[in-house]
Structure 1
Amino acid sequence: MLSRTLLCLVVMCLAAPVFADTVWLKNGDRLSGKIKVFDGGKLLIQTEYAGAVPIDWKQVKTLESDQELLVKQDAWTGEKAKSLQAAEDGSVTLVNGEAPKTVALASIQQLIKPKPLVEDMVWKGNVDVAMDYKRADKDTDDYDLDFKTTARHGAWRHHAEGEYNREFQNDVVTTDNWTAEYALDYFISDKWYWQGRLTYNRDRVEDISRQRTVGTGPGYQFWDDELGAFSLGSLLNRTDYEYSDGKKDNFYSLAMKWDYNRYLMGKTVSFFTNGELGKSLEGESDYSLDSEIGLRYKVTEWASLNLKAEKDLIGSSSGSDNALNKTRYTVGFGVVW
């Protein structure tokens, strides 16, 4: 009898959910699951019956959670709550031992799981790999690897991205280049930020063999939540070119950057585009375009398939021969987080 009782208890523990979070909505509905994150005006709750469900924060009446969560009421400071308890409409109670505190939902800007080192760190990114093999009159092997990641804590946001392309035709290298970029944003307000950026390009085939760009300027974040993000930025840049024949050139330019991604079908298919359009402030009116557009399909929570088109353009109104005009299409797989 004792062994049967213990077996039943084990089965019940395994069958029970790890967390039983509940969200009450203003229209009378109630959702149960596990709260993943609240950021950018959207609360994401993981349910067993509908997967990840995003909820407009303005529609939440109250909520409760058995998780330890970091509750931020501004961009710089946060309070770690051992659990959340439902309260009267428009508020929630933070449980911290003997001194529970009730706060208005409207005052909360972020709910996240505390991280080990930087508690309010929110990290997102993806790594994509594409390979193409063609056997015909010209045998072609094409490899493409790129990554993009952002990490935000408090008023700071870090960007890092890179790409490597290599192509062979009949064992002759026809494309061999890589790019690395780092940018740091400081949010002056909820939407406005100031960015500093450093980019380095290396190409062993094209006329422009090296390109270094340092820039700074303001930007505006329209939204950034679990369903996507959209930002526009303007930069004052200094760009240094080094050509394959040894010549060097540099100029100052103004540039506009954009970064847009949005889920189209729940959280399965997403559309994304990003890039930079720049124009020289020098007399020759050099201009450049570096852009990307594509679709990403999530096969699992972490694996994805992607279809991308990339456009690289460097030109001059003076008709200089040192120009670049290249378009690439890739299909590949990747990892998202």
Structure 2
Amino acid sequence: MFSRFLLFLAAVVACAPAVADTVWMKNGDRLSGKISVFDGGKLLLQTTYGGAIALDWKQVKTLESDQELLVKQDAYTGEKAKSLHAADDGKVTLANDEAPKTVELASIQQIMKPKPVVEDLSWKGNVDLAMDYKRADTDSDDYDVDFKTSARHGRWRHQAEGEYNRESKDDVTTTNNWSAEYALDRFLTEKWFWQGRMEFKRDHIEDLSRQRTVGTGPGYQFWDDELGAFSLGSLLNRTDYEYADGGKDNFYSLGMKWDYNRYLMGKRVQFFTNGEVGKPLGGVADYALDAEMGLRYKVTEWASLNLKAEKDIIRGTRESDLDKTRYTAGFGVTW
């Protein structure tokens, strides 16, 4: 008798439908999976049959989910719904402790999984490492480590990045430098923000040994969602140069920063480029460029391979110009 009961229980469990979210499209398609996020006009649905699928929000008829989700109808505040229920075309019902509320899909700007303590905190970043060892007639060692991270809560966004490069041949160091930068953004509207930033660069080999920059200015966030981000910023900078012989320069400059990244091929490949070009408001230098461009391939949800090209140019300094190009390949961690 007991064995029959266990057999019956196993059959019931096996026949029970798997918990999944459902999205109905305007063309009649019905998709099942797990809702990851909605932002930037794209609903990301994680499926077992096709990986992460980005759905055009304008083509969604209605949807349902048993997950607890944070639904935001403006850029900064949201309502936590214990579940979502299908409703009439172009609508969805938010179920919570109070009476269920039906809202227009067009009024929703963002859907995400609630975070503990701070519900709308988002944090992302990556650490990349590249190494090259050669033992032959000429021995060489090459190291490159860099990180970049961004955290946003409400109208504030914190960004930090740093890099370390070192190359040597036959125990003679030919490259040895590092840099660090911190930026704080205050969003004035959904897209416009004001940025303040600090940056320091140290080079133990080149004649231009130290660079300090403090700047501020407006920026515009074109998009920032699960599939990528793109922002432009203009800055008024105060820069100080220190040379290896003890000489110093300081000047003001106008700069333009960009930060672009986009996932391709179902979020397996990421193309990215970021950097800054500046024009001094004086005769210290003609212009400066610090940029990088590359690809990341996600091996797992957190591990990736990367290929990058970096360019660093300073033209017209009183001592000597700087013009360096660097190519690296390595592995990293992404979150």
For normalisation by structure 1, the TM-score amounts to: 0.93
Q: How many residues align?
A: 335
For 2:302 and 2:82, the matched residues in 1 are separated by 28
Q: Which residue of 1 aligns with 2:290?
A: 290
Q: Which residue of 1 aligns with 2:264?
A: 264
Q: Which residue of 2 aligns with 1:229?
A: 229
Q: Tell me if 1:209 matches 2:212.
A: no
Cα shift readout 1:241-280 (whole Å, capped 9, x = no counterpart): 1112122211100011111112232211221111100010
- Deviation (angstroms), 1:95: 0.6
Distance 1:13 1:204, change over 3 A: farther
- Deviation (angstroms), 1:295: 1.1
Residue segments in structure 1 that go unaligned for 5+ positions in a row: none
Q: Which residue of 2 aligns with 1:328?
A: 326
Distance 1:184 1:13, change over 3 A: farther
For 1:9 and 1:163, the matched residues in 2 are separated by 57
Q: Tell me if 1:56 matches 2:93.
A: no
Q: Which residue of 2 aligns with 1:125?
A: 125
For normalisation by structure 2, the TM-score amounts to: 0.94
Q: Is the 8 A contact 1:54 1:226 kept in 2?
A: no
- Deviation (angstroms), 1:231: 1.4
RMSD of aligned Cα (Å): 2.0
For 1:52 and 1:324, the matched residues in 2 are separated by 43
Identify which range, 210-219 or 281-290, moves more after superposition.
Answer: 281-290
For 1:5 and 1:148, the matched residues in 2 are separated by 56
- Deviation (angstroms), 1:233: 1.2
Question: Which amino acid in the other structure matches residue 322 of structure 2?
Answer: L
For 2:332 and 2:12, the matched residues in 1 are separated by 37
Q: Is the 8 A contact 1:141 1:169 kept in 2?
A: yes
SS at 2:58 equivalent: helix
For 2:109 and 2:148, the matched residues in 1 are separated by 25
Q: Is the 8 A contact 1:19 1:67 kept in 2?
A: no
Q: Is the 8 A contact 2:42 2:56 kept in 1?
A: yes
Question: Which amino acid in the other structure matches residue 51 of structure 1?
Answer: G
- Deviation (angstroms), 1:4: 5.9
Q: Which residue of 2 aligns with 1:310?
A: 310
- Deviation (angstroms), 1:158: 1.7
- Deviation (angstroms), 1:2: 3.1
For 1:129 and 1:66, the matched residues in 2 are separated by 40
Distance 1:31 1:135, change over 3 A: same
Could you tell me the percent identity over the aligned residues? 76
For 2:19 and 2:153, the matched residues in 1 are separated by 26
Q: Is the 8 A contact 1:162 1:179 kept in 2?
A: yes
- Deviation (angstroms), 1:173: 2.0
- Deviation (angstroms), 1:160: 1.2
Q: Which residue of 2 aligns with 1:87?
A: 87
